[in-house]
Amino acid sequence: MLLAPPLCWGCEGPARLGELLCLRCRGRLHRLAPDPIWLCGVRVWAPVAYSGPARALVSALKFRGAVGVASAMAAQIAANAPPWLLAGVTLVPVPLHPRRLRSRGYNQAAAIAAALADRTGRPVADCLARRGPPVTQVGRHRAERRAGPAGSIEIRADRSPGHGLAPPPARVLLVDDVVTTGATLAACQNALREAGTSEFGAVVFARTLGR
């Protein structure tokens, strides 16, 4: 029986076994500078720009059920992030609205955080929740994005009997697939700061150019 070669997520041409992108698309990844930038008061780092093959990988993870892509994203983060950015932190995935989580079946940010934890040994705390209308950032105007995510982000209540809100980690590194304005990361940071977190940063797989 003849087996079809794996296809590249970027161009749908043939790729090497175990590779998500062909050699040409890997070469088209726009690598970013090693230093973090500040977006909406959050220190953010990403290995690649949100364009070309990187955009295709984000779409595969978020909209096409390719959960395995999260491992490749985490590999890019772990291999290229400044070592001090990952030192002594707890990874906190950006939350997905419960309705969208039920529909999709997984939170792409949590998948990246879990894969990154496997590679770095850092703990994960899924301690944030999203409330309000399940409006996606896709299609929202830049001014709306900068105003923050639709609804609100808050600390998840501890479901153990007799407990209230569990305290968040003291040092947090937020994790997401892509960042545009940084407003959602800022909302996460604000919720954590109000609950007692003192040190923050964020890593994402891809960042929109020009920010």
**pLDDT tens profile 183-211:** 999 999 999 999 999 999 999 999 998 75
Tokens representing residue 57 in the block: 């990988």
- The answer to whether residues 171 and 198 touch, using CB atoms and an 8 Å cutoff, is yes
Residue spans of the domains in the chain: they are 30-207
Q: Among 3.40.50, 2.40.128, 1.10.3470, 2.60.420, what is the CATH number of 30-207? A: 3.40.50
Q: Express each pLDDT in 144-185 by its tens digit.
A: 455 555 568 999 875 444 555 667 899 999 999 999 999 999
Upper half-sphere CA count for residue 50 (Cβ side, 13 Å): 18
CA 10 to each of CA 21, 47, 51, 75, 179: distance values in angstroms, whole numbers, following the listed order: 6, 17, 10, 18, 20
Q: Express each pLDDT in 59-77 by its tens digit.
A: 999 999 899 999 999 999 9
Residues 6+ apart with CB under 8 A from 134: 97, 98, 99, 100, 150, 151
- The answer to whether residues 135 and 167 touch, using CB atoms and an 8 Å cutoff, is no
More confident residue, 5 or 28: 28
Instruction: Taking residues 109-125, report their average pLDDT.
Output: 97
For the entire predicted model, the pTM comes to: 0.86
